[in-house]
């Protein structure tokens, strides 16, 4: 009943917002973890798209499968990212991205 009123465009708008928020977070936050969360938002925005499209348009389940894969990948990525962040934290005692500027020019 309620669902029926939710159209594809609603999903897309939502994902768009989500994506934008993610990008915003990535660009603004100085904390590495927060940035990673922003990335998660971006990826999930895409996932919403995929699922929505597969529900409304596609006959198969391609989109949803894709979404599942991307979730897994994202997890793996974040795992690696966190590992690196931690090892940096071990040496520098900080996870502030602004401190990571020894390589430049």
- Applying CB under 8 A, which residues contact other proteins? 12, 15, 19, 22-23, 26-28, 32, 35-36, 39, 42-43, 45-47, 49-50, 52-53, 57-59, 62-63, 65-66, 69-70, 73, 76-77, 80-81, 84-85, 87-88, 91-92, 97-98, 100-105
- How many helices (H) and strands (E) the chain has is answered by 4, 0
Given the complex with other proteins, which of 13 and 73 has the nearer CB atom?
73
Task: Give the shortest CB-66-to-other proteins separation in angstroms.
Answer: 5
CA 2 to chain centre: 28
Q: Are 48 and 63 within 8 A, CB to CB?
A: no
3-class SS of residue 2: helix
């Amino acid at each position: 009943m309620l669902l029926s009123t939710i159209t594809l465009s609603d999903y897309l708008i939502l994902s768009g917002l989500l994506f934008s928020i993610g990008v915003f977070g990535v660009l603004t936050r100085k904390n590495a973890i927060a940035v990673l969360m922003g990335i998660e938002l971006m990826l999930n925005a895409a996932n919403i798209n995929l699922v929505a499209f597969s529900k409304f348009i596609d006959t198969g389940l391609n989109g949803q499968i894709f979404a599942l894969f991307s979730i897994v990948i994202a997890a793996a990525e974040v795992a690696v990212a966190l590992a690196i962040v931690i090892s940096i934290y071990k040496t520098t005692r900080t996870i502030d991205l602004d401190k990571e500027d020894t390589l430049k020019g």
